[in-house]
């Protein structure tokens, strides 16, 4: 799968399999074979010991919500265009996003679909999971446990 | 290292400048700067240009447009970049030019032409100021990043939306007294609190403005500065520090650690501490960012930033006046120009030329300029003598 199905922007990276793994239902991290440092998002190279000998490992998705927001003014890429039909309008209800602290202090960003802003609290227990979108793109969602 | 002083300042009018292109904006600031210094362009040895985005300027080397338009060729000019801290990178590079002896008189220019592209496109470009590969797919925007920082700060310290709005009220009040500001009108607390949500919990009046603008300062070496200027303002301390690309990799979300590190370096170099600072310009791209700045610069304890603005301690006459030029919040935030504009305000304050906004007998001032969410931060300390 083209990595762009996840990143939206770039295709070319040494960790492009991340998108394939998401499609296969796994959120993957990398671990340095030499010094053991863990990376999420995955890195092909270790900034700790400069080794490029990395192993892939599935990330346990359970964790604690560090912070969140709901972006009402989206970037152009996610923008909602004016409806072309006269006398019609588009109701835009954006999806909140959050940052989840999982194993070893790693943090996973994800969408929080169908979650009411009032019910989202810093510190709540959640799980990060891969999600295949209707257009074939892959992403990550956070859901309460 | 040689001593370096600001000997000239020139501030263009910030705003939606649909009347002017990038190079024309620079011309206004450079002309004002050379007039202020009383130095002709032919006596300037070298130049540095701060421009943050190719995508805003729709050109690969916008700095060449700049030196061409003011007729600076064949003398040296190049561009530096540090996202929202670009202007301070330009000032730092100018300082390096002079302190090293490479040049005696250096022109530092900061500019951004942001409104040539649509607002949604500008939001997109700035969103990619975060991690464009790993965070952008989640629809992140700059208000979105600082909203996540705000929610974390509120959860940890009980900072309130009212306290955030108080920062906006202060900065709009001072912006109304600044003829170069983008929005020169005061706002009420109620207006700030009832404006629409941009990224929860940040509302429209918690956000700085998408602005066109340019600013320029002239730097000179010790002896030359004394000969050129009756009121040289010395750059006494410089600090620069970096942090991770992604906010998810930060040790904390309730402090910008690179700002703390940059401040520590700058304070040490200048031989001063937070209590010696009499006036400061800080990076209030969002109201929460000004509250973090109070804490990171040591103007109050960690977690107490909300209380500092609530007690009005950052107004003129308070413990430490902050952003009394209107800040990014109401003066506007043309990315490349902001850091240079901060240096101009502090220079004016230390010269005693800030008019209604003047902090009495200010001798030591500070600027704090954050690139992105702290990926790179510059802190500069200025002294009258």
Report yes or no on B141 lying in a domain.
Answer: no
The predicted pLDDT at position A91 comes to 79
pLDDT exceeds cutoff 80 at B120: yes
B333 an active-site residue? yes
Burial B66-94 (b: 16+ CB within 10 A, else e): bbeebebeeeebebbbbbbbbbbbbbbbb
Percent of chain A with pLDDT over 70: 100
Region B200-229 average pLDDT = 97
pLDDT band at A95 (very low <50, low <70, confident <90, very high): very high
Domain count, chain A: 1
Domain that holds residue B31: 4-117+210-228
pLDDT per residue as tens digits for the range B285-300? 999 999 999 999 999 9
H or E segment to which residue B280 belongs = strand B279-281
pLDDT per residue as tens digits for the range B19-50? 999 999 999 999 999 999 999 999 999 999 99
Report yes or no on B9 lying in a domain.
Answer: yes
Cα of B357 vs its chain's centroid, Å? 18
Mean confidence (pLDDT) of chain A? 95
DSSP β-ladder status, A125-132 and B197-199: unpaired
Report yes or no on B40 lying in a domain.
Answer: yes
Domain count, chain B: 1
User: What's the gap in Å between the CA of A78 and the closest CA on chain B?
Assistant: 7
DSSP-assigned letter for residue B372: T
Contacts of A21 (CB under 8 A, 6+ apart): A27, A28, A56, A130
pLDDT band at B78 (very low <50, low <70, confident <90, very high): very high
pLDDT per residue as tens digits for the range A47-87? 999 999 999 999 999 999 999 999 999 888 888 777 778 88
The predicted pLDDT at position A81 comes to 73
Which residues from chain A sit within 8 angstroms of residue B133, using beta carbons?
Answer: 7, 9-10, 13, 41
User: What's the gap in Å between the CA of A51 and the closest CA on chain B?
Assistant: 19
pLDDT per residue as tens digits for the range B353-372? 999 999 999 999 999 999 99
Cα separation of B84 and B372, whole Å? 6
The predicted pLDDT at position A80 comes to 76
Region A90-108 average pLDDT = 93
Query: Any idea what the CATH number is for the domain that residue B106 is in?
Result: 3.40.47.10
User: What's the gap in Å between the CA of A93 and the closest CA on chain B?
Assistant: 12
DSSP β-ladder status, A28-32 and A97-101: unpaired
The predicted pLDDT at position B156 comes to 98
pLDDT band at A32 (very low <50, low <70, confident <90, very high): very high
- In this predicted complex, what is the ipTM? 0.94
The residue among B54 and B164 whose pLDDT is bigger is: B164
Considering CB atoms only, which of A67, A71, A74 is closest to B151? A67
The predicted pLDDT at position A85 comes to 83
Cα separation of the two ends of chain A? 30
Cα separation of B54 and B117, whole Å? 12
Hey, which residues does B376 pair with through a beta bridge? B242, B371
Hey, which residues does B322 pair with through a beta bridge? B280
Residues of A (28-87) whose Cβ lies below 8 Å from B: 41, 66-79
The predicted pLDDT at position B239 comes to 98
The predicted pLDDT at position A18 comes to 98
Q: Which of B84, B207, B285, B300 is the catalytic position?
A: B84
Report yes or no on B37 lying in a domain.
Answer: yes
Residue in chain B closest to A141 (alpha carbons) equals B138
Cα separation of B363 and B383, whole Å? 6
B84 an active-site residue? yes
Cα separation of B283 and B287, whole Å? 9
pLDDT per residue as tens digits for the range B223-262? 999 999 999 999 999 999 999 999 999 999 999 999 999 9
Report yes or no on B72 lying in a domain.
Answer: yes
Cα separation of B165 and B282, whole Å? 16
The predicted pLDDT at position B97 comes to 98
| Mutate: best of A71, A118, A138, partner B, most B CBs <10 A | A71
Report yes or no on B46 lying in a domain.
Answer: yes
Angstrom CA distances, A32 to A14, A15, A41, A47, A103, stand at 15, 14, 13, 10, 16
| Mutate: best of B122, B199, B242, partner A, most A CBs <10 A | B199
| A127 burial type by CB count under 10 A (0-12 exposed, 13-18 middle, 19+ buried) | middle
| Mutate: best of B56, B118, B120, B197, partner A, most A CBs <10 A | B120
pLDDT per residue as tens digits for the range A114-130? 899 999 999 999 999 99
**Residue B135 and residue A109: Cβ atoms within 8 Å?**
yes
Contact B155, A68 (CB under 8 A): no
Which residues from chain B sit within 8 angstroms of residue A94, using beta carbons?
Answer: 139
pLDDT exceeds cutoff 90 at B271: yes
State pTM to two decimals.
0.96
Q: Is A16 on the interface with B (CB under 8 A)?
A: no
Domain that holds residue A71: 4-144
Considering CB atoms only, which of B196, B199, B246 is closest to A71? B199
């Amino acid at each position: 799968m083209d990595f762009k199905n996840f990143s939206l922007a770039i295709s070319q990276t040494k960790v492009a399999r991340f998108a394939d793994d998401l499609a296969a239902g796994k959120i993957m991290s990398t671990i340095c074979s030499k010094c053991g440092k863990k990376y999420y998002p995955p890195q092909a190279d270790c900034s700790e010991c400069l080794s490029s000998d990395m192993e892939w490992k599935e990330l346990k998705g359970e964790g604690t919500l560090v912070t969140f927001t709901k972006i009402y003014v989206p970037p152009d890429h996610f923008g909602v265009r004016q409806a072309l039909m006269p006398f019609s309008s588009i109701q835009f209800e954006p999806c909140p996003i959050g940052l989840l602290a999982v194993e070893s202090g790693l943090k996973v960003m994800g969408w929080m679909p169908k979650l009411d802003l009032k019910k989202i609290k810093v510190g709540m227990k959640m799980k990060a999971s891969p999600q295949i979108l209707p257009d074939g793109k892959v992403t990550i969602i956070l859901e309460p446990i | 290292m040689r001593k370096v002083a600001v000997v000239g300042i020139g501030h263009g009018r910030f705003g939606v400048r649909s009347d002017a292109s990038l190079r024309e904006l620079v011309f206004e600031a450079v002309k004002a700067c050379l007039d202020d210094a009383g130095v002709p362009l032919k006596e300037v040895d070298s130049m540095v240009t701060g421009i943050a985005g190719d995508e805003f300027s729709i050109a690969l080397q916008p700095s060449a447009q700049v030196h061409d338009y003011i007729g600076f060729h064949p003398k040296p000019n190049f561009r530096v970049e540090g996202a929202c801290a670009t202007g301070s990178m330009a000032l730092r590079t100018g300082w390096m030019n002079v302190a090293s002896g490479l040049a005696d008189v250096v022109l530092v220019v900061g500019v951004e032409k942001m409104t040539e592209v649509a607002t949604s496109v500008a939001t997109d470009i700035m969103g990619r100021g975060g991690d464009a590969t790993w965070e952008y797919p989640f629809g992140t925007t700059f208000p979105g990043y600082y909203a996540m920082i705000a929610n974390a700060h509120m959860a940890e310290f009980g900072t309130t939306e009212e306290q955030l709005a108080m920062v906006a009220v202060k900065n709009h009040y001072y912006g109304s007294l600044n003829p170069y500001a983008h929005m020169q009108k005061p706002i009420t607390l109620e207006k700030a609190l009832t404006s629409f949500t941009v990224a929860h919990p940040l509302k429209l009046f918690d956000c700085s403005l998408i602005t066109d603008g340019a600013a320029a300062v002239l730097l000179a070496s010790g002896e030359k500065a004394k000969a050129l200027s009756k009121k040289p303002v010395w750059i006494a301390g410089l600090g620069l520090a970096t942090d991770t690309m992604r906010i998810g990799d930060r040790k904390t979300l309730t402090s910008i650690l690179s700002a703390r590190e940059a401040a520590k370096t700058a304070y040490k170099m200048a031989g001063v501490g937070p209590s010696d600072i009499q006036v400061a310009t800080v990076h209030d791209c969002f109201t929460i960012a000004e509250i973090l700045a109070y804490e990171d610069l040591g103007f109050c304890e960690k977690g107490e930033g909300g209380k500092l603005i609530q007690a009005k301690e950052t107004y003129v006459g308070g413990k430490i006046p902050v952003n009394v030029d209107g800040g990014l919040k109401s003066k506007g935030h043309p990315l490349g120009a902001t850091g240079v504009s901060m240096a101009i305000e502090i220079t004016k304050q230390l010269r005693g030329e800030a008019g209604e906004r003047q902090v009495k007998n200010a001798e030591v001032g500070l600027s704090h300029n954050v690139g992105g969410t702290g990926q790179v931060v510059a802190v500069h300390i200025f002294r009258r003598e």
